[in-house]
Amino acid sequence: MNQLAESPTVAAPTAAEPRADGPSIAAKALLWAAERGIVVFTVVLILASVLFVDGFASAVNVADVFHRAAPIGIVAVGMTFVVISGNYLDLSVVAQVATGAVILIGVSNSHSIPIAILVALAVSVVYGLVNGVAVGYFKANAVIVTLSTTYIGLGLLRWLSGGSIFFGPRDGTIESFGDIKLGAVPISAIVLVVVALVLGFLLSRTNFGFVVRAFGSNKEATRLSGVNTPVVVLGAFLITSFAATIAGFVLAAYSNTAVSSMSDGYDFGALAAIIIGGTSVFGGKGSVLRTVLGVVFVSVLTNVLVLSGVGFGWQQVAIGSLIVLAVSVDALARKVSKK
Amino acid sequence: MSTPHGINFGEAPARTRVDQLRRTLGRRTEGRAVALLAVVLVVALVMEPLVFSAYPVTLSRVALVGLVALGLTVVILMGELDLSVASTVVLAGVMMAQTDNVALGVLLALGTGVAVGLVNAFFVVKVGINSFIATLGMLFVLKGLAIVISRSEPIPLENITFAIQFGLPIVGPLTPRIVIFVLAFVLLHLFLTRMRAGREFYAVGGNRQAARDAGIPVDRRLVTGFVMCSVIAAGAGAIDTLERTAADPTAGSTVLLSSFAAAIIGGVALTGGRGSILGTLIGAFSLGTLEVGLTLTGVQVDIQQIYIGGVLLLAVMTDPASLRAARSSLRTSLHGVRARSTDRGLT
C-alpha cells in the first residue's frame, strides 16, 4: 500500500482534460456539465426554489428537507465507497438501515442503549463481512450478492421482530436526541455532515481512499502494483454497512419508532443521488462531496415537486429521467473528449 | 502458450466415448442448477410429497417465476442487464386495463414492451451508457408512469368473464400461463441454439470487439435482445393482469429478485456469453418447487425469503470462476504478492 502511494506514475483518477486545439463549444459545454454541472445546478435549483416556490424558504419546510435528506444521505455517502471501487452498489442497505433502527429501539427497550448500539454495530460488521468477502474474495457480482443478503437480512429481521412496529419510550434518550436542533438544522443533518467529513477525508486524503479509487479505475493494475485488492473491497463494504447502520439510528431517533419496512427504496434512492452527483458507476471517478450535492439536489427537487402538488408517480419519473440524463451527459462528454 | 516442444491449438481430440461425454458435460453450464433441483426434489419427496400431487400449483408457480427470467436470460447472455423488467411487468398490466377489449389490451401491453425495449436499447447502443444505469433509470420512470396512469389505484378489468376463463386449465391440467411459458421456452431455446442470429447473441456477450470484427451486427443484436426481454416481461404483465382480473400498480416487487435468481442459479454468467435458456428453466423449476414446498410445509413467507436468498448467495459463490477467484485471493492475502506474481502472470 505504501509503495503505491509513493509512486508518482499511478495518476489519480481525474477525467480527461479537453485537448489544447479544443473541441467545439457544444463539446466544451458537455464536458463542463459532466465535470462541474452538479454544483451549479444545485445552487440554481435552490435559488429558484427560494424565489419562485411558495413555502420553500420557511423554517418548517427547510427542517423537513433536512430530515428527509439526512438518513438517505448518510447511506449514499457510505455507498459511494462501493460505487467508486467499481462494484455497482450495495442493495442490502435497505435491510441494514431497517435492522439498525429496529435493534436500536427494540434492544434498548429490553436492555439498554449502549448494548443496543453494540449489537447493531456487530450486525453491521456481519453484513459488511458477508458482502465484502463474497464480492472481494469470491469476485461474485455485487448486485446479486447484495440482492441475496437483502432477502436474507429482511427475512431474518421480519421473522425475529414479527414485523411489528417498535416504539421508543416517550421522552427517552433516543427521542430527545432526535429532537435536538441548531436553529432550523436538525441533529440528523449534523450527523450527515460529520459522517460526510470523516468519510470524505478517508476517501480523498488517506492511503485507503487512494487505493479504493485506484481499484475502481483499473483493477488489474492495482492488483499488480501490490495492493491486497480483496481487502480493499471488503473495506468499502464495511464502511457502507457502518454508514447504513448510523442512518438507521438517525431514522429511528427522528420518529422514535422502528419497523422493518421503514427504509424501502433506500437502495436505488441512494444510488440515484450518487449518480446524479456525478460519481461514475464504472468506478474510479467521484467524491463524497459530489454525493452530498446529489442528495441535496434530489431532496430539494422532490420537496419542490411536493410543494407544487406534483404526485408521487411524476416524482419517480423525474428521478428516473435525471439518472439517465446525468449518465448520458457523462457518456457523451467521454465520447466527445476522445475525438 | 508455446511449449518447448511445439504449439498446441485447442484440446487434444477425444479418444473414447467416455472422454467425449465428459468433455461435453464439462462445457455445459447447468450443473449447479441440476444439483439444486435434485436436492429440492429429493427433500420435497421425503418431507412434502404434496408438491408432486399438487403439480398444477407447482407448475404455475414455476411459470410465474420463470417467464420474465427467460427474457432476462437473453439480455444477460449479451453481457447486459435489464433492471426495468419488474416495472415493465407493472406498466404493461396497467396499460392493458386501459381498454375493455382484451385483444386490444394485450396489443397495448406488448406495444408497451416493444417501446420500453427500444428506449433501453437506444440509451445503451446510441448514447453508450451502461445498461445497468439506463435500465435503473427506466425502473423509476416506468414505475412512476404506472402510478400516474392508474392514479395509484388497482384497475379492475372490464371483461371479467374472459379473465376468469383465462385462469382455467385448457390443455389437461395446464393453464394458459403454463402453456405460454412452455411455448416461450421452446421458441427461445430454438432461437438461441439453432438460429444464426441467436447464436450471435453468445458472441456479442463473449467478446464484443471480436464479434464486431467478425462482421456481426452487434448493435442490431443488442436492440433485438432488449426488445425481446421487454416484450416477454410485458407479456408476463398481461398474464398477471388477466389472472388477477385487475392491474395492480404496486405489485411485482419480487419479480426482479426471482427472475435474476432463476437465471443465475441456472448458470447464466453475468459477464455474458455463457449460459443457456435450459439452465434458466431448471433454475426456475428449482426455485418454484422450493417456494411451493416451503409454503406447503407451512413455512412463513419471511423464512422462505431467507432460504431463497441463501440459495442465491450459495449459487454465486460456488460458481467455478468464483471458487477460482477465492483461491487466488486467499493466496494473495496469505503469501503476499511477490510470491504469486511470477507464477500467475497476467491471467
**B58 inside domain:** no
* Whole-angstrom distance, CA of residue A199 vs CA of residue A292: 11
* Whole-angstrom distance, CA of residue A67 vs CA of residue A188: 6
- Mean pLDDT, residues B125-145 taken together: 88
CB contact under 8 A, B147 and A313: yes
* Whole-angstrom distance, CA of residue B233 vs CA of residue B86: 8
CB contact under 8 A, A324 and B123: yes
pLDDT score recorded for residue B9: 61
pLDDT score recorded for residue A268: 84
- Mean pLDDT, residues A167-185 taken together: 78
Q: What's the mean per-residue pLDDT of chain A?
A: 84
CB contact under 8 A, B140 and A323: yes
Q: Report the chain A residue with the minimal C-alpha distance to residue B131.
A: A324
For residue A5, give the C-alpha cell: 502511494
* Nearest-by-Cβ selection for B123 from A153, A156, A328: A328
pLDDT band at B346 (very low <50, low <70, confident <90, very high): very low
Nearest chain A Cα distance for residue B294, angstroms: 14
CB contact under 8 A, A140 and B128: no
* Nearest-by-Cβ selection for A144 from B133, B316, B321: B316
Q: DSSP class of residue B125?
A: I
**B140 inside domain:** yes
Which range has highest mean pLDDT (A175-179, B178-182, B265-269)?
A: B178-182
CB contact under 8 A, B140 and A272: yes
**B37 inside domain:** no
Higher local confidence (pLDDT), A121 or B347: A121
**B196 inside domain:** yes
Per cent of chain A over pLDDT 70 is 92
**B282 inside domain:** yes
Q: Report the chain A residue with the minimal C-alpha distance to residue B328.
A: A137
**B333 inside domain:** no
Domain count along chain B = 1
- Mean pLDDT, residues B210-232 taken together: 91
Lowest-pLDDT range of B136-145, B166-175, B261-270, B283-292:
B166-175
* Whole-angstrom distance, CA of residue B231 vs CA of residue A219: 36
Tell me: pLDDT of B249 over 80: no
List CB contacts (< 8 A) between A134 and chain B: 313, 316-317
Query: What are the residues facing A182 on neighbouring strands?
Result: A185
List CB contacts (< 8 A) between B305 and chain A: 151-152, 154-155, 158
- Mean pLDDT, residues B327-335 taken together: 76
Give, in order, the Cα–Cα distances in Å from A260 to each of A94, A99, A158: 9, 7, 6
* Whole-angstrom distance, CA of residue B341 vs CA of residue B113: 49
- Mean pLDDT, residues B24-33 taken together: 74
Rg (CA), chain A: 20
- Mean pLDDT, residues B27-37 taken together: 78
List CB contacts (< 8 A) between A140 and chain B: 316-317, 319, 322
- As a dihedral over the C-alpha atoms of residue A293, residue A299, residue A301, residue A303, rounded to 10 degrees, the angle is -150
pLDDT digits (tens, 9 = 90+) for A35-45: 777 888 888 88
Please count the other Cβ atoms lying within 10 Å of the Cβ belonging to residue A252. 32
Q: DSSP class of residue B10?
A: S
Lowest-pLDDT range of A224-233, B81-90, B152-161, B200-209:
B152-161
Please choose, from the candidates B117, B119, B97, B95, the residue with its C-alpha nearest in 3D space to the C-alpha of residue B108: B95
Q: Report the chain A residue with the minimal C-alpha distance to residue B133.
A: A324
**B20 inside domain:** no
Nearest chain B Cα distance for residue A168, angstroms: 24
Q: DSSP class of residue A168?
A: P
pLDDT digits (tens, 9 = 90+) for B37-50: 888 888 888 877 77
List CB contacts (< 8 A) between A334 and chain B: 128
CB contact under 8 A, B313 and A148: yes
Cβ-in-10-Å burial (0-12, 13-18, 19+) of B215 comes to exposed
Q: Are strands A257-258 and A166-167 parallel, antiparallel or unpaired?
A: antiparallel
CB contact under 8 A, B147 and A150: no
pLDDT band at A185 (very low <50, low <70, confident <90, very high): confident
- As a dihedral over the C-alpha atoms of residue A95, residue A98, residue A99, residue A105, rounded to 10 degrees, the angle is 180
Q: What's the mean per-residue pLDDT of chain B?
A: 82
pLDDT digits (tens, 9 = 90+) for B293-318: 888 888 888 888 888 888 888 888 88
* Whole-angstrom distance, CA of residue B7 vs CA of residue B281: 40
* Whole-angstrom distance, CA of residue B55 vs CA of residue A14: 58
CB contact under 8 A, A147 and B260: yes
* Nearest-by-Cβ selection for A147 from B257, B303, B338: B257
Q: Report the chain B residue with the minimal C-alpha distance to residue A162.
A: B302
| Contact (CB, 8 A) for A332 and A30 | yes
List CB contacts (< 8 A) between B306 and chain A: 151-152, 155-156, 159
Give, in order, the Cα–Cα distances in Å from B85 to each of A86, A130, B22, B226: 24, 27, 37, 10
List CB contacts (< 8 A) between B322 and chain A: 138-140
CB contact under 8 A, B132 and A281: yes
- Mean pLDDT, residues B329-336 taken together: 72
* Whole-angstrom distance, CA of residue B274 vs CA of residue B203: 10
Higher local confidence (pLDDT), A5 or A300: A300
Domain with B291, as residue range(s), is 63-295
* Nearest-by-Cβ selection for A327 from B129, B302, B337: B129
Q: Are strands A181-182 and A185-186 parallel, antiparallel or unpaired?
A: antiparallel
CB contact under 8 A, A317 and B130: no
List CB contacts (< 8 A) between A138 and chain B: 316-317, 322-323, 325-326, 329
List CB contacts (< 8 A) between B313 and chain A: 130, 134, 145, 148-149, 152
Domains of chain A plus CATH, in order, are 40-338 (1.10.3470)
List CB contacts (< 8 A) between A149 and chain B: 309, 313
pLDDT band at B207 (very low <50, low <70, confident <90, very high): confident
Write the CB contacts of A285 (distance below 8 Å, at least 6 apart in sequence). A13, A14, A15, A84, A213, A216, A217, A279
How many Å from the N-terminal Cα to the C-terminal Cα in chain A?
35
Nearest chain A Cα distance for residue B326, angstroms: 4
* Whole-angstrom distance, CA of residue B330 vs CA of residue B323: 11
Tell me: pLDDT of B23 over 50: yes
List CB contacts (< 8 A) between B270 and chain A: 141, 143-144
Helix (H, G, I), strand (E, B) or coil at A59: helix
**B151 inside domain:** yes
